[in-house]
Amino acid sequence: MNEQARQISELDRVIHEPGRLMIMALLYAVERADFLYLQHETALNKGTLSSHLARLEEAGYVEISKTFRGKVPQTLLRLTDAGRRAFEEYRRKLKEAL
Amino acid sequence: MEQEQEKQIREYLCRPARYANVDGVTEMTAGLTWFGLALFGWIPSVTPKGSVWHSMLLLWLLLVAWVALVAFGAKAFKKHVTYPRTGLVSYPAARGKASAIWRFAFVLVIAAVVSAALAYMAARKHFQPVWLMGASMAFFYGMMARPMRPWKWAILTLMAAGGVGLVFLPGGLEAQVLIGLASYGAVFLAAGLITLAHYLRHSQPAEKVAE
């Protein structure tokens, strides 16, 4: 295995999936955002977005909190410190592999 | 492929900043602020000397109230119109005291250099400071009016060129500055309203979005 292939194989698989990478990048640039914003920006459908978020939450990268805006339920999302570190590490490794 | 991925990541990292003006509210806020400055600068020139409208304290208080009202209105608009349509984003506060101090120092240095350059040029009559208004407004607009659609580049060019036109207005520097502020306020406001109309046309409240 050459060096580049080895570096690519070391990339965080949870983040490497394109849908989750979009979510991580969008959340990295903000303090927090809601589900609707992510849905608009990623153009993913509700089910796919929910399943990616569940995977990221399971990995400890995203914190999900449910609240209400008036009478409308609202899902707020933010990257955890571990998520921020993992994203920075992922980008560092990706740049090294280029 | 990895290079493409890195490019996409950078694009996604920039999106939330562009989202701040997706509804034109940032442009309208700036426009109304310039209008306020022009209005409270103009009032003393049309009221009798010795009237309450010549009190600097009162004008400052009114200006602060105006800016607060505009800021409050912008927040309310976001809460009741933007967030239900395209979602909520909260932006990170400046991280750490050290970074805030460095940014403050940077602004102070820039302000000192610009002030010294202006004083030097004005003293030698090489320069009319009102020229600067067009350049600074265009720069400010370029920073805040993202996403920069093609028609916004035309506005930006118009703003930069407009600064030169201000110099030829009659009535002295004070009148030029006031007319400049009111005109730039109108342009910011109009650009914001166009952005808002575009936004409302291409978005709808979440409840109405098909599941």
The kind and range of the H/E element at B198 are helix B172-201
Counting the structural domains of chain A, the total is 1
Interface test with A, best of B10, B82, B88 (most A CBs within 10 A): B88
pLDDT (mean) for B90-102:
71
pLDDT over 90 for what percent of chain B? 40
Whole-structure pTM value: 0.81
Report the pLDDT value the prediction gives residue B84, as an integer from 0 to 100: 92
Higher pLDDT, B198 or B128: B198
Query: For A7-23, how does the pLDDT look when each residue is reduced to its tens digit (9 = 90+)?
Result: 777 788 999 999 999 99
Pair B42, B76: CB distance under 8 Å? no
Question: What is the pLDDT of chain B when averaged over all its residues?
Answer: 84
Average pLDDT for residues B23-27, to the nearest whole number?
95
CA nearest to A41 within chain B: B15
For residues B122-147, give the mean pLDDT: 78
pLDDT of amino acid B95: 56
Closest C-alpha to B209, from A95, A63, A43? A43
Q: Residue B77 and residue B193: Cα distance in Å, rounded?
A: 13
Is residue B123 scored above 70 in pLDDT?
Answer: no
pLDDT confidence of residue B211: 39
Judged by a CB distance cut-off of 8 A, whether residue A11 touches chain B is: no
Which residues does chain A have within 8 Å of residue B16's beta carbon, measured at their own beta carbons? Answer: 26, 29-30, 33
pLDDT tier for residue B171 given thresholds of 50, 70 and 90? confident
The predicted pLDDT at position B86 comes to 93
CATH, residue A88: 1.10.10.10
The pLDDT assigned to B132 comes to 79
Residue (of B95, B46, B31) closest to A84 by Cα position? B95
The enclosing H or E element of A75 equals: strand A72-79
Contacts of B8 in chain A (CB under 8 A): 21-22, 25
Cβ distance of A95 and B206 shorter than 8 Å: no
pLDDT over 70 at B111, yes or no? no
**pLDDT of B210 higher than 60:** no
Q: Helix, strand, or coil here: B96?
A: coil
Question: Which residues in chain A are contacts of B19 at CB distance < 8 A?
Answer: 37, 41
Query: What pLDDT, on a 0 to 100 scale, did the predictor assign at position B178?
Result: 87
Q: How many CB pairs under 8 A join A and B?
A: 80
Q: Which domain holds residue A14?
A: 3-97
Among A10-24, A78-92, B89-103, the range scoring the smallest mean pLDDT is B89-103
Residue predicted with more confidence, A34 or B205: A34
Instruction: Return d(Cα B67, Cα B29) in angstroms, integer.
Output: 9
CA closest to A23 among chain B residues: B12
Per-residue pLDDT band for B190 (boundaries 50, 70, 90) equals very high
A38-52, A82-96, B94-108, B129-143: least confident range: B94-108
Strand pairing class (B89-90; A72-79): unpaired
pLDDT: is B99 or A70 the higher one? A70
Q: Which two tokens stand for residue B68?
A: 């607060």
| pLDDT at residue B175, rounded to an integer | 83
In 3D space, the residue among A52, A66, A61 whose CA is nearest the CA of residue A22 turns out to be: A52
What the block records as the tokens of A55 is 């995977």
Q: What ipTM was assigned to the predicted interfaces of this complex?
A: 0.87
**How many helices (H) and strands (E) would you count in chain A?**
6, 3
pLDDT of B45 reads 85
